[in-house]
């Protein structure tokens, strides 16, 4: 379950970013499926011992990215499918993601080219080195 997989690190990365990125990884890895109900913000806040507003910030970011859908009085769910975007918007999102990935790799002392190679290996099913 998603809630048990969330972990905070003392890395200097803001907590809401850690939560957002871990949910993104879980969705990308198929650990949570489209349409699956997400834990409530309160459940995440209690489990991680963080402020509810921190979790709200992460969920808001995920909703803006189209990863989750918030249905008032029903809950929060993993989005059924990625939001439709035009080619120009898709290119901008791709560039933004690439720049964030390069920055994250560099900040963690990793070569962005090696990270790109690892991304290719994972997506092609060759996860083990």
| Per-residue pLDDT at 111 exceeds 60 | yes
What's the pLDDT tens digit per position in 27-58?
888 889 999 999 999 999 999 999 999 999 99
Domain ranges of the chain: 2-78, 87-123
The rounded distance, in Å, linking the Cα atoms of 118 and 129 is 9
Residue 128's pLDDT is: 58
Q: Which of 15, 12, 31, 34 is nearest to 23 (CA)?
A: 31
For the chain, what is the radius of gyration of the CA atoms?
16
Tokens 């720049």 correspond to what residue?
99
- Decide which of 1.10.10.10, 2.40.50.140, 3.40.190.150, 3.40.50.300 is the CATH code for 2-78: 1.10.10.10
Q: Report the SS3 class of residue 112.
A: helix
79 φ/ψ angles, rounded to the nearest 5 degrees: -60, 145
DSSP bridge partners of 37? 77
């Amino acid at each position: 379950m998603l809630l048990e997989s969330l972990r905070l690190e003392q890395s200097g990365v803001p907590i809401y970013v850690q939560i957002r990125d871990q949910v993104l990884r879980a969705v990308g890895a198929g650990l949570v499926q489209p349409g699956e109900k997400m834990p409530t913000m309160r459940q995440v806040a209690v489990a991680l011992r963080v402020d509810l507003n921190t979790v709200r910030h992460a969920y808001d970011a995920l909703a803006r990215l189209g990863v989750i859908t918030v249905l008032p009085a029903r809950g929060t769910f993993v989005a059924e499918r990625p939001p439709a975007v035009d080619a120009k918007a898709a290119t901008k999102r791709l560039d933004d993601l690439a720049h964030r990935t390069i920055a994250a790799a560099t900040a963690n002392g990793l070569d962005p080219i090696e990270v790109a190679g690892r991304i290719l290996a994972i997506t092609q099913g060759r996860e083990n080195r």
